[in-house]
Structure 1
Amino acid sequence: MNDTPLVTIVMPCLNEEETLATCIRKALQGIDAAGIRGEVLIADNGSSDRSPEIALEEGARIISVSRKGYGSALRAGIEAAGGKWILMGDADDSYDFSNITPFIEKLKEGDDLVMGCRMPRGGGRIAKGAMPWKHRWIGNPVLTFIGRLFFKCPANDFHCGLRAFTREGYRVMNLQTIGMEFASEMVIKATLAGLKISEVPITLHPDGRSRAPHLRSWRDGWRHLRFMLLFSPRWLFLMPGIGITGVGSVGLGTLAFGQMIFGKAVLDVGTMMVCSMFLLVGTQLLWLAVFTREFAVSQGFLPPNRRLRRVLDAISLEWGLVLGILMGSGGMLLLGLAFLEWQHAGFQGLSYSANMRRIIPASTLIILGIQFLFGSFSLGVLGLKTERRD
């Protein structure tokens, strides 16, 4: 007889003696109701109460995870799971593990990741007192909107902790984080990898603990947002960089030929200086977008981008150095012409507007040249790291 479980329900645990027994019992009921072989695995993250003893008494398997963190506990639990499918959820009795059949049905249909959805938009329900108002009306909607916008993720509840996935899908995700960001990383990587993602509406219940939850609203919300931003250099660096560079380039190029007048407003060298700043900042953001993307690929956080790879292959280190030298030389030439004008005037005072109209473009080109020179070298280092990893 084959006793290998088909599904493993993994619960991270840190001092959950008030609710753990109830969660394990419901999980075992859910496995029976689904009509499959299964097990319950508790990933204990250093509990100082009776949680480990309770887990064993209720018939669950338990492992001890010494490395602290929500992600650490889940990763260890998933690695130790014996099932082909894994369902994860918190051990605070806010999720009803007795009703896991919809998740199992989705996995049987071939889905790679099945997300629970607590939000009414996705058919879910939040019982009275189950979720603080700031989570329901600010945190979850904002983070879900960003996740759908940045990554085109289909989930309506980006951070629901009750979810199921296949072992093969988990390997494809190649998750790295050890903290609360683990939940965000899973959904993001599943989306980027093209895994089949679906949702199951669920009801969120008030947790059964008398103590405060481990979750810290603003701190953990910021950690999720920060992770999502860092995981999307296109939105953090590239799009702002393109916009700022465009404004700076057009403004600087136009004002280099003379002032612009709009009614009573006169745009002159002061505006030109601001446009120069925009151009330099925007260019730096574009470099950061490329650096971040290459580093994320080299570390396995993001999959390679074929279009970017083709561009970087076409624009070699040598081309970047040549472009930087040309920009720097152009700036030095303009600076030299400005010096000759000053010499021609006997090193006396020059027209402020005319003089700055020469010096600002010259300085801008010199700084851009330096950016391209050292940026190309830095990109070359990241490229070597990527090749070595491959």
Structure 2
Amino acid sequence: MDLQVDGDPQLSFVIPCLNEAPTLAATIRDCHRGGEATGLNFEIVVADNGSSDGSVQIAQQEGARVVSVPIRGYGAALSAGIKAARGCFVLMGDADSTYRFDQAPLFLAPLQAGADLVMGNRFRGTISPGAMPFLHRYLGNPVLSLLGRMLFGIDVGDFHCGLRAFRRSSIMALSLCNTGMEYASEMVIKASLRDMHLVEIPTDLRPNPPGRRPHLRTWRDGWRHLKFMLSFSPRYAFLGFGSVCLVASLLLYSSYATQLSIFTGTTSLLVAGFLFYSACALISDYVVTRFFFAQRYGNHIGRGGRLIDRLLHGRSGIDRLMKSSVVMLALGTVLMLIVLHAYQNASLSERAISQLAFLASVSLSVALFSYLTGAKISTLVAFQDREF
């Protein structure tokens, strides 16, 4: 029997589920209390991920609508549940009875005031003894939340709280695609990149019932969250490492050119050349990724990159990159010819020839990556123009 209030639902509770028979009934009843407290028409959607312990029957008996999700994963279940939801507001949370769905009115109020996404903050609420493992409470969540603030400027203290409410239309517009636990990070990061209005409110966390084994795997899922966060932050993932390689390369070359006692051998130039080549590759990827994010998410992704923005301005940016490639190719070719001539005629010292060879390699590297960067951006522009 469907226990929701008659009429089209305005609020949808979405619960991912995989073999949650011991706690599912209590969770759904908590949703009913929360829904009734809001005074809105509501529904409860259980996105079942292939349960074999009777969870589906329990959900139906408690008045929930069950959506079968064949693709395994936390993100896959939530994505299917949100897609199937009929309410304009969605409150999502786990089926393990650890979250307070009866706090629905607290999450709904900011949405009705104009917010797009309302996050629960367990650290500002009450965490019952034993509710959060030591590593999660004092290492995993604080570190990942700090990275979220550093990399994206998101003012959220509990980046991975699973209890959150949002406008369904806003989240559907993000085209979330991760099927695993990193879905939670993807939602917050993409909402931030879209300049959506995020609000955080205190919430409580209750302990898992005795004998229940959490689906979250500390190190595996922590790594997946970290990997996703870095992949969406090209400023740090690419530009930072590229800048380090570039500075190290220039320092090594300078030490060789000035005959600094520690770095006088030609090996210094080989290492400097490798570092410079690596810097070119990383910075090229940064420029291309930045261009893509600017097209996809607007300029919010690129705070502080005015030089790059001017370089990439429209099709003139592609033209500049291609012209730079031609100029650096010509310069590198001339330097390489000078090196070959000097080597054959012994007209320069070995040290001078080594330095010219290094500068020729630098010029050719810049030429190569200027061309590759321009070509990639040109391809992205072509796809955009054809609305692929």
**TM over 0.5, shorter chain:** yes
Report the secondary structure of 2:279's partner residue.
helix
- In the TM superposition, residue 266 of structure 1 has moved relative to its aligned partner by 5.9
* 2:89 equivalent in structure 1: 85
CA distance in 1, matches of 2:249, 2:113: 52
Aligned residue identity for 1:311: L
CA distance in 1, matches of 2:190, 2:346: 64
Gaps of 5+ in 2: none
* 2:276 equivalent in structure 1: 279
Aligned residue identity for 2:200: E
Deviations 1:158-197 (A, max 9, x none): 0000000012322333322222121111111111111111
Alpha carbons of structure 1 residues 255 and 210: separation in structure 2 relative to 1, 3 Å = closer
CA distance in 2, matches of 1:331, 1:384: 30
Corresponding residue to 1:27 among 23, 31, 40: 31
Report the secondary structure of 1:110's partner residue.
coil
* 2:118 equivalent in structure 1: 114
Contact 1:259/1:269, CA 8 A, preserved across alignment: no
1:220 maps to 2:221: yes
Q: What does 1:289-368 correspond to in 2, within 5 Å?
A: 289-295=286-292, 302-303=297-298, 311-312=311-312, 313=314, 315-345=316-346, 351-368=349-366
Gaps of 5+ in 1: none
CA distance in 2, matches of 1:82, 1:345: 80
Alpha carbons of structure 1 residues 364 and 76: separation in structure 2 relative to 1, 3 Å = same
CA distance in 2, matches of 1:143, 1:206: 22
Contact 2:6/2:41, CA 8 A, preserved across alignment: no
Aligned residue identity for 1:231: F
Q: What does 1:95-114 correspond to in 2, within 5 Å?
A: 95-114=99-118
- In the TM superposition, residue 59 of structure 1 has moved relative to its aligned partner by 1.2
Aligned residue identity for 1:389: E
CA distance in 2, matches of 1:29, 1:317: 58
Contact 1:268/1:353, CA 8 A, preserved across alignment: no
CA distance in 2, matches of 1:58, 1:167: 24
- TM superposition score normalised by structure 2: 0.89
Contact 2:18/2:49, CA 8 A, preserved across alignment: yes
Aligned Cα RMSD in Å? Answer: 2.5
CA distance in 2, matches of 1:316, 1:33: 56
Report the secondary structure of 2:97's partner residue.
coil
1:244 maps to 2:271: no
Deviations 1:24-58 (A, max 9, x none): 11110112223332221111111111111101111
Deviations 1:278-307 (A, max 9, x none): 322212111011233345567x5x446686
Aligned residue identity for 1:58: E
CA distance in 2, matches of 1:311, 1:172: 30
- In the TM superposition, residue 146 of structure 1 has moved relative to its aligned partner by 0.6
Aligned residue identity for 2:133: P
- In the TM superposition, residue 389 of structure 1 has moved relative to its aligned partner by 3.2
Contact 1:323/1:369, CA 8 A, preserved across alignment: yes
1:76 maps to 2:80: yes
CA distance in 2, matches of 1:293, 1:90: 35
Deviations 1:344-369 (A, max 9, x none): 339xxx74323312222122222332
* 1:65 equivalent in structure 2: 69
- In the TM superposition, residue 386 of structure 1 has moved relative to its aligned partner by 3.0
Alpha carbons of structure 1 residues 255 and 315: separation in structure 2 relative to 1, 3 Å = farther
- Once the two structures are overlaid, the 10-residue window that deviates more, 146-155 or 205-214, is 205-214
Number of residues paired by the alignment? 378
CA distance in 2, matches of 1:249, 1:375: 22
CA distance in 2, matches of 1:178, 1:337: 56
- TM superposition score normalised by structure 1: 0.88
* 1:205 equivalent in structure 2: 206
CA distance in 2, matches of 1:56, 1:170: 26
Report the secondary structure of 1:48's partner residue.
coil
Contact 1:70/1:182, CA 8 A, preserved across alignment: yes
Contact 1:115/1:198, CA 8 A, preserved across alignment: yes
CA distance in 1, matches of 2:64, 2:200: 27
- Once the two structures are overlaid, the 10-residue window that deviates more, 172-181 or 35-44, is 172-181
- In the TM superposition, residue 118 of structure 1 has moved relative to its aligned partner by 0.8
- In the TM superposition, residue 124 of structure 1 has moved relative to its aligned partner by 2.0
